[in-house]
Each structure stands twice: as structure tokens, then as C-alpha cells.
């Protein structure tokens, strides 16, 4: 006979679940900062920018790492809102490893670029 396993919510306490979520978010924030830092270094090494400091690839202004977002140079085919923050960061890292063209961008520039891309009807060239 197989024994039925209890649901996750019954196997763990609310404190354990909260602690797990907090660990997941801390890990995601750290990965996000490391990815932005690496994107800035890559742009500097490729001579696309004059500085290795955290900066927006579109407007060129220097920002803190936490203020920059990952921008897909050719757009993306998936909706970021469908994923939790930690899952999105994991997906960005996987895309970076696969060679998808990413760049650091401040929030206003990233939004304006996405709006312009949708208005022009440019189709994403990024892979799922």
C-alpha cells in the first residue's frame, strides 16, 4: 500500500515557509546583482562602454546595482509577470549562459524600450 503524503502546508509551519521564502528572495537578489555586475563588465570588455561601473546601457547614467534591471536587447517572448522574482532571476541567468543578448538598463529606459518595441511591432528574436 502507498501512503498518501500530506500537503506541503501541513508538513511545515508558517515560520518555516516564511523563512524559506526569505532565503529564496535573498538568493535571487544576490544573483540579480551579480548578473548586472557581469553584464556591465561584459559591456566594458567589449568596448561598448567607457566604464565598468553599474550603468544603464541605454541612457548611460550610473546607478546602484539594485536600481538596474535586465533588458533583453531583442525583446523576450515570455511575460515576466507570470514568474516569481526568484524564478525570473533564474531564467535571466539561464538566458545569459545560453548567450541571449542581455544588457543592464534603468527602469525608465527599460520600460520605454519595451513600449517602443511593442508600438513598432518588432517581433522578439529571443528564444524561450
Query: Dihedral angle at the C-alpha atoms of 25, 98, 36, 29, nearest 10 degrees?
Result: 0
Cell of 68: 538596474
| pLDDT above 50 for 128 | no
pLDDT digits (tens, 9 = 90+) for 31-53: 999 999 999 888 888 888 777 78
pLDDT digits (tens, 9 = 90+) for 111-121: 888 777 766 76
Helices (H) and strands (E) in the chain, counts: 4, 2
Amino acid at each position: 500500500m502507498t501512503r498518501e503524503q500530506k500537503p506541503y502546508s501541513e508538513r511545515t509551519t508558517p515560520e518555516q515557509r516564511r523563512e524559506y521564502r526569505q532565503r529564496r528572495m535573498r538568493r535571487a537578489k544576490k544573483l540579480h546583482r551579480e548578473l548586472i555586475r557581469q553584464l556591465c563588465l561584459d559591456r566594458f570588455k567589449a568596448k561598448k562602454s567607457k566604464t565598468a561601473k553599474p550603468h544603464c546601457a541605454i541612457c548611460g547614467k550610473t546607478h546602484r546595482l539594485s536600481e538596474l534591471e535586465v533588458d533583453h536587447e531583442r525583446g523576450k517572448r515570455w511575460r515576466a509577470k507570470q514568474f516569481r522574482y526568484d524564478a525570473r532571476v533564474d531564467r535571466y541567468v539561464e538566458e545569459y549562459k545560453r548567450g541571449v543578448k542581455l544588457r543592464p538598463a534603468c527602469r525608465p529606459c527599460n520600460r520605454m524600450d519595451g513600449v517602443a518595441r511593442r508600438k513598432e511591432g518588432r517581433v522578439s528574436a529571443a528564444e524561450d
